[in-house]
A and B are shown apart, each in its own frame.
Chain A
Amino acid sequence: MAETDQKPDINASEHVNIRVVAQDGNVVQFKIKKKAQLRKLMTAYTERLGLQEGSVIFLYDGLRIQREQTPNDLGMEEEAQLEVMMAQEGGG
């Protein structure tokens, strides 16, 4: 019974808190709807830090995320953590 009691709660929470961790350890927290595309979060983050949008890559569990993906798509739980990496460029 305990499980069935909990489930509606989880479904009921439309929002998810996402921690965005930069390479230097800085954390910015976002609260976003689970159905909302993460593009919004990305834009807000880059604006906040004054970065160019293409200059950072967002990773979730080491995998690149696309702008159109939503927390639901990625199965994000509360306090999910995104890693921000600076774009890398170099010669071969």
Chain B
Amino acid sequence: MSIANQPYELLANRVHKQFVVDPEITMGALNELEGKMDAIRTHKNTLTDEELEKAYRELGDQELETNLTSMRRTLHQVILRAPDGGAKAPERVRRMPQRPMMSQGAKQVVAVQTGPGRRRQTGAVVPAAPQSGSRPGSLKGELQQQQHGKEKALSGQECLSCNRHRSNGEEYPGVGYICDECHDAQGAGGSGADQGRRRTREAATSYIEEDDFDPDTRNYRQPRLKEGGLPTNNFYGKMDASGPARPQSRGAAQDSGEQTFSRTRQGAATRKRIVEQDNEPITLDDTDDEEAGPGPGSLADAAQPRRSQRSNAFKGPMQRFEGLKALYPPCGGPGAVEITPADMARLNPEEFLNDTIIDFFMRHIWEHLPEEVKARCYFFNSFFWKKLTEKSGLSSTLDNGPRGPVAAANHERVKKWTKGLDIFAMDFLFVPIHDHLHWSLLIVCNPGADPEDTSRTPCMLHLDSMTGMHHPSCLLHIHDV
């Protein structure tokens, strides 16, 4: 028992050191770390072997510390919950995250196998990296192995996320052990089919899992983010969770590496650089048998027994709906709106309404109209206005009139939105407007009316519960109402 506990005590000591660190400092450390990595990358061709190795070593240690800091809340539970020994967890292939913007020369997925026969059967398999004698890669690998040796003592078999003992999982250096289920839950969707299979299996064994986050809930990560707890991207990037024998295209492998690297990268600068990267299509074809999981509105997710060990201040009464989704209209169809508990929580007093709620209610109104009225009304969704009035990048000196190039560009962006529909045949067009944290409604009446016809006058009504913010002069980039 004491032997089994030892790794946790070591871990606890390290965590204790980190426990008082301010989250602000963590962000600073992250930025610093990122800067250093960039520096190494830039200079890796000019540095000597020794210098490079030293730099990587330093970096590795830092990264470790940073991870620890950001994980401190979760790790705290590890301290509180002593392990009871258990079978030795098989270790999984460690993948060094790959930075997407690394130069082509260094673009390789570094896979270090921690030992013979330790590769998990169903784990994410990164094909043997094209090491090609590349200096940074091999050094990194070496360093990883060293680090791994160092960290092995700290690992256990208790999952950090669900606090259960698992024999299937992955070990993260300086962090601990994450079981497969949590790993998958975090990488929700990254391995849809695999996850689907796993879920089925879980259901079959009446397996209790996921107290905190559900991959189908769109906001499952939020509480953790707020508390500075588990870094949400930390275990991401399992783009492929198929068996080792499964052939895999090189592109997919690289993607997998790239995705893995999203951990601890939340900086805006990073985001931008990622966006700027290659325009190669990302292949998402790893699993061919997308099992049709429980559809929206299904009770399957909620039916799973749930256990919450944590008192989570961020969970409201909506928690009991967690994992549920509702599709409106229930039969689906084009433009159906999916509502999650997080959306429902926005109906509470003093909460902001979001686009889903607006779209839902507009749809709800439409569905309940008499048939003859339905045909005369068209409801745009809440993004129409935003898309229509998006900055087109055209010079402001251009003709801003209804027939000018700006208007043409605006129309171009949304012309597909109403394909197969003649909006000028409608009597009323409803356009929800969102701007400056405020919603208002524009109703276009008789858009196609003949000017000669005095019985039907084209006009627009703007319903706004507040004055000022949605005044045409500050709202419209295209033309005045």
Interface contacts (Cβ under 8 Å), in number, total 175
Are B275 and A26 in contact, CB atoms less than 8 angstroms apart?
yes
Contact flag A28-B237 (CB < 8 Å), given A36-B287, A50-B271, A87-B355: no
Are B285 and A29 in contact, CB atoms less than 8 angstroms apart?
no
Are B192 and A64 in contact, CB atoms less than 8 angstroms apart?
no
Are A40 and B192 in contact, CB atoms less than 8 angstroms apart?
yes
- Would you list which residues of chain A between 32 and 89 have a CB under 8 Å from chain B? 32-33, 35-37, 39-44, 47-50, 52-54, 57, 59, 61-64, 66-68, 70, 83, 85, 87-89
Partner of B285, one of A15, A27, A66: A15
| Segment of B2-10, B22-30, B412-420, B473-481 engaged in the interface with chain A | B412-420
Most chain B CB atoms below 10 A, which of A39, A48, A52: A48
The smallest beta-carbon distance between B417 and chain A, in angstroms, is: 3
Of chain B, the residue at the smallest CB distance from A50 is: B271
| Segment of B36-44, B53-61, B303-311, B379-387 engaged in the interface with chain A | B379-387
What residues of B have a CB within 8 angstroms of the CB of A44 in the complex?
Answer: 189-190, 239, 255, 259, 282, 284
What residues of A have a CB within 8 angstroms of the CB of B285 in the complex?
Answer: 14-15, 31-33, 36
Are A57 and B280 in contact, CB atoms less than 8 angstroms apart?
no
Compute how far the CA of A29 lies from the CA of B278 in the bound complex, rounded to whole angstroms: 9
A90 within 8 A of B: yes
B32 within 8 A of A: no
B35 within 8 A of A: no
| Segment of B76-84, B149-157, B218-226, B395-403 engaged in the interface with chain A | B218-226
Are B222 and A62 in contact, CB atoms less than 8 angstroms apart?
no
B335 within 8 A of A: yes
13 cross-chain CB contacts under 8 A: A28-B282, A32-B284, A37-B192, A54-B342, A62-B414, A64-B337, A64-B359, A64-B381, A85-B355, A87-B355, A89-B437, A90-B436, A91-B438
A25 within 8 A of B: yes
What residues of A have a CB within 8 angstroms of the CB of B390 in the complex?
Answer: 23
The smallest beta-carbon distance between B270 and chain A, in angstroms, is: 7
Compute how far the CA of A71 lies from the CA of B284 in the bound complex, rounded to whole angstroms: 13
**Closest CB pairs A-B (n = 7):** A62-B417, A54-B218, A43-B189, A29-B281, A89-B352, A31-B281, A90-B437
Are B218 and A25 in contact, CB atoms less than 8 angstroms apart?
no
The smallest beta-carbon distance between B391 and chain A, in angstroms, is: 9
What residues of A have a CB within 8 angstroms of the CB of B292 in the complex?
Answer: 68
B233 within 8 A of A: yes
B274 within 8 A of A: yes
Compute how far the CA of A29 lies from the CA of B336 in the bound complex, rounded to whole angstroms: 25
B283 within 8 A of A: yes
B172 within 8 A of A: no
Are A47 and B334 in contact, CB atoms less than 8 angstroms apart?
no
Are A52 and B219 in contact, CB atoms less than 8 angstroms apart?
yes
Compute how far the CA of A32 lies from the CA of B255 in the bound complex, rounded to whole angstroms: 13
The smallest beta-carbon distance between B52 and chain A, in angstroms, is: 28
Are A91 and B281 in contact, CB atoms less than 8 angstroms apart?
no
Interface magnitude class on chain A: 35 or more
Of chain A, the residue at the smallest CB distance from B232 is: A52
Are A35 and B383 in contact, CB atoms less than 8 angstroms apart?
no
Compute how far the CA of A52 lies from the CA of B233 in the bound complex, rounded to whole angstroms: 10
A-contacting residues of B (Cβ < 8 Å)? Answer: 187-190, 192, 216, 218-222, 225, 232-233, 236-237, 239, 255, 258-259, 262, 265-266, 270-271, 274-275, 279-285, 287-288, 290, 292-293, 295-296, 327, 332, 334-338, 340, 342, 346, 352-356, 358-359, 381-384, 386-387, 390, 393, 414, 416-419, 434-439, 465
Sample of 7 more A-B contacts, CB < 8 Å, known A29-B280, A63-B335: A31-B283, A32-B284, A35-B288, A40-B190, A50-B270, A53-B218, A89-B346
Contact flag A88-B438 (CB < 8 Å), given A41-B284, A50-B233, A53-B221: no
Partner of B352, one of A40, A63, A91: A91
Are B190 and A62 in contact, CB atoms less than 8 angstroms apart?
no
Compute how far the CA of A27 lies from the CA of B280 in the bound complex, rounded to whole angstroms: 10
Are B439 and A39 in contact, CB atoms less than 8 angstroms apart?
no
What residues of B have a CB within 8 angstroms of the CB of A48 in the complex?
Answer: 258-259, 262, 274, 282
Are B190 and A89 in contact, CB atoms less than 8 angstroms apart?
no
Contact flag A62-B381 (CB < 8 Å), given A30-B284, A68-B292, A90-B436: yes
Are A91 and B437 in contact, CB atoms less than 8 angstroms apart?
yes
A92 within 8 A of B: yes
Are B284 and A31 in contact, CB atoms less than 8 angstroms apart?
yes
Are A88 and B270 in contact, CB atoms less than 8 angstroms apart?
no
Of chain A, the residue at the smallest CB distance from B285 is: A33
What residues of B have a CB within 8 angstroms of the CB of A15 in the complex?
Answer: 283, 285
Are A90 and B189 in contact, CB atoms less than 8 angstroms apart?
no
Partner of A43, one of B190, B340, B358: B190
